[in-house]
Structure 1
Amino acid sequence: MSSTLESMTIIQQNNYITFVILTVIGYDYVLSFSNEIEYIWSKPWTSVSTLFLFVRYAGLCNVVSSLLAMILRLWAIYNRSRIIIHVLLALFSLEIIPILLSAAIYSDPSNLTVASIQRQDFSNCQVVPKSLIWAGVTTVVQVTHGAVMCMLAIAQFVWQSIQMYQVTKQWQLNRYMRLFIKQGIIYFSAVFLYNLVGVFESFGKPPTSAREGDLLFIVAYVPLFLLTPRFIISVRKLYARGIQGTRRGEGIDTGFGLSSAGGSANGTVMVFVDAEQNEGLEDIDEISMEVITSRSE
């Protein structure tokens, strides 16, 4: 009888958690839908717009498209550096290739290998990879890729903060918080957390209760699902305010290095912003123009 009650309690807890997750995702969708219309559907269609569709509506492709969005954003904030894009794409390929090879070599549609795992309050069956080597390689590359992207984003934030301080000669928290949000450090940290959870699941001690397993799932996957669409919208919102190029009207930057107008011959990027659309970004634009002026001198 006690075993039956425990099973019913676990099912009830899972139902509550599922309801909370769906409520949070639905609420976030309602909050961000107006921005989605304004900065995705109402703007000229680009490759980033297609990427947003995969992130927002194609759940099975969410992880891959999220990583591609992060890679493109890093490529953009590093001025479309070939070294950066080659390193990140190489790591991304090393993530995908072992998965495809493992599926092609070891997958057998006629049988499935599972193992019974005993928890404190229940037991369940888990699929056992036929090649632990491939699974381990993929997990290590994933966490390495996530760590590299997170460190590159933080390094760019620190570098721009130092440049900002050299111009203003003072530390102002509000400016650095805006820069922190603009660089998307939270989003890159969420991807790194997702990869860390993958390492914990592969090499760490398995959860001893249903609550621990559900909490691990929520911490890793829900932020990744929610934050990536917001990440693309926030970048599009920021770059929709400006026109990149040496003169007004050359082109609109997507913020991801795609479908952007080129800068001047010496690599300097000028950003012109309409006054009525610039509410809340005066400090950032002022500092950006000061940094550009100091570089020219």
Structure 2
Amino acid sequence: MSEQEVVAGLRWNNYISVPIITLMSYEYLLLLDKEVKYVWKRPWSLMSCLYLVVRYFGLFLALLCGFWGGLLYIPESVSYRLVVLIEWGFSVYFCFAEAILIWRLYAICNQSRLLFYVLVGLFLPIVALSIGTDIYLYSRRSVFSVIEIITPNVRYCTLSFNIGPMPAIYTSIPIVCYDILLVVLAAAILARHLKERRQIQMKANSYMVMIVRYHILYFVLNLTNQVLLVILWAHIPV
């Protein structure tokens, strides 16, 4: 890749990062009044704690990703630790987000303890797999490293993955399968709910419809993330 292509790529990175960060900040400020009303001014619960962790930790990770890689220059020694923090942060964020999905399914399924125990029992091995994968991938510089590139016109750091995509693929398979299970369960619960409501000629519960919609949206986004992760590790040009 020539220096001009590198500069053009970094410029596009900056052009994309700035509006995305602006849009995210606007969205968070837009919903702040509702958050204060429905979360901060109400009694604390497990769901409210999970919500705040996912909301603000997700914003923190998004800002780190937006600024790193061209928008701001960060030295190699700092970049390595920062990228490791981001990758571990993604795993932590995933665990908390999945916990919210499990809790929502538990709520809309009449608080079925059997369903809750089954979902948690299936989720714990995925958490262990995610932790083990992060330890294996991001604790050794021979597997994962950050390279600082210096040219007359640009200075930046980039990632370097020194092994093939198989670890990412092996980790993604159970995660995607588990998300498929969650979205199928949510759709089945909604279908049963709609059938029951039609029988008594009542409208569907808007909160249940919203929860299932978010399940589907999260599944699509997480599937996209897993595919992009495999592409990144495999060095597939996009």
TM-score (norm 1): 0.56
Q: Which residue of 1 aligns with 2:5?
A: 6
Q: 1:12 is paired with a residue of what secondary structure?
A: helix
Q: CA deviation at 1:206?
A: 5.3
Q: Identity of paired residues, percent?
A: 24
Moved more, 190-199 or 147-156: 190-199
List per-residue Cα deviations over 1:35-81 (Å, max 9, x = no partner): 00000000011122211221111233432211111110000111111
Distance 1:203 1:193 in 2: 16
Q: Of the two structures, which has the highest relative contact order with CA contacts closer than 8 Å and spacing of 6 or more?
A: 1
Q: Work out whether residues 75 and 84 of structure 1, in 8 Å CA contact, stay in contact via their aligned partners in 2.
A: yes
Q: Work out whether residues 190 and 209 of structure 2, in 8 Å CA contact, stay in contact via their aligned partners in 1.
A: no
Distance 2:191 2:204 in 1: 10
1:97 pairs with one of 118, 128, 151: 128
TM-score (norm 2): 0.69
Q: 1:168 is paired with a residue of what secondary structure?
A: coil
Whether 1:163 and 2:196 are equivalent positions in the alignment is: yes
Aligned residues: 193
1:80 pairs with one of 97, 111, 124: 111
Whether 1:197 and 2:224 are equivalent positions in the alignment is: yes
Q: Which residue of 2 aligns with 1:273?
A: none
Any residues of structure 2 matched to 1:1-297 within 5 Å, and which?
3-59=2-58, 60=89, 61-103=92-134, 106=136, 109=139, 111-114=141-144, 125-128=159-162, 132=166, 135-168=168-201, 175-176=203-204, 178=206, 181-182=209-210, 184-201=211-228, 207-209=236-238
Q: Work out whether residues 102 and 131 of structure 1, in 8 Å CA contact, stay in contact via their aligned partners in 2.
A: no
Gaps of 5+ in 1: 116-123, 170-174, 210-297
Which one has the bigger helix percentage? Answer: 2
List per-residue Cα deviations over 1:241-275 (Å, max 9, x = no partner): xxxxxxxxxxxxxxxxxxxxxxxxxxxxxxxxxxx
When Rg is computed on C-alpha atoms for both structures, the one with the higher figure is: 1
Q: 1:208 is paired with a residue of what secondary structure?
A: coil
Measured on the aligned residues, the alpha-carbon RMSD in Å equals 3.1
Q: Work out whether residues 99 and 138 of structure 1, in 8 Å CA contact, stay in contact via their aligned partners in 2.
A: yes
For 2:188, the aligned partner's letter is A
Q: Which residue of 2 aligns with 1:228?
A: none
